[in-house]
Every structure is written in C-alpha cells, then in structure tokens.
Amino acid sequence: MLKQEKKTILIVDDDVDYLFQMREGIRDMGFDVITAGTQKEAEDIIERTRPDLAILDLMMENQDTGFILGHRIKTKYPDVPVIIVSAVTAETGMLFDVTTEEERDWIKADLFLDKGIRMDQLHREIKKLLKL
C-alpha cells in the first residue's frame, strides 16, 4: 500500500511566538511545515518550493505583506490555497473577506481568518481547502 505523502504548509508571520505556536500546532495535525518570518524569506521559499497550502500574516514589514505574498503564490501556483490571518479587524476595525469573486480577485486568498482562531477550527479549514 502506498503511503500518502505529507502535505506541506507554509506559514509566514513576523511574530516569532505566534509562528512557533502555529508551526507546532500544524505539525501536530500531521503536516510538514515551512516557516518564514519576513516577506523576503517567504519570497525566497516560494521561488524554490511549492507548498500545498500557505498561511500568511497580513501585516508584517508592510501593512499589505500578506496581500503581496498571496498574489505571488497565486501567480506562480494558482491552485495552492492561501489563508490570510490577521489581527487587523481587532486593531483597526477594518473588515476583509473573500466570500465574493470580486474580493478573491484582488485579495488573492481563499480564506481570511482573524488571529486567535482555535487549532481545531483551523484544522477543519485546512482539511476543507486541501480536500482531505
């Protein structure tokens, strides 16, 4: 019987504690994890590696880092699901969503989640996006 290869998830966030928690939580779900703490680091990874799914922080060095990285991933790997996570709503009151085609067209993400999502919820969303 063939052993199914582990899916690889790219996590990009400039908060080292959050990145560590996400990495450990997603590894516990049974996925391989690649992490990046800067936009440049993430861009280098995207150039040489095709993740099965990407989880991107929205605001890092720039307020739109997540949007930029989402666009780069979707341009290079159109079928790779992208989740943007952010505390932007809590911090600014601004709401982002990707429920309409128009929003997905400019945001280039499959899902937008507020930071603080529980790991079991995140696991369900990842499984849905990867069709597992």
DSSP per position, 13-62 = -S-HHHHHHHHHHHHHTT-EEEEESSHHHHHHHHHH---SEEEEES-SSS
pLDDT confidence of residue 103? 55
Q: In the CATH scheme, what architecture does the domain 8-130 have?
A: 3-Layer(aba) Sandwich (3.40)
| pLDDT above 70 as % of the chain | 81
Q: What's the pLDDT tens digit per position in 33-89?
A: 999 999 999 999 999 999 999 999 987 777 778 888 999 999 999 999 999 888 755
Which residue did the predictor score with more confidence, 76 or 4? 76
Residue ranges covered by each domain of the chain: 8-130
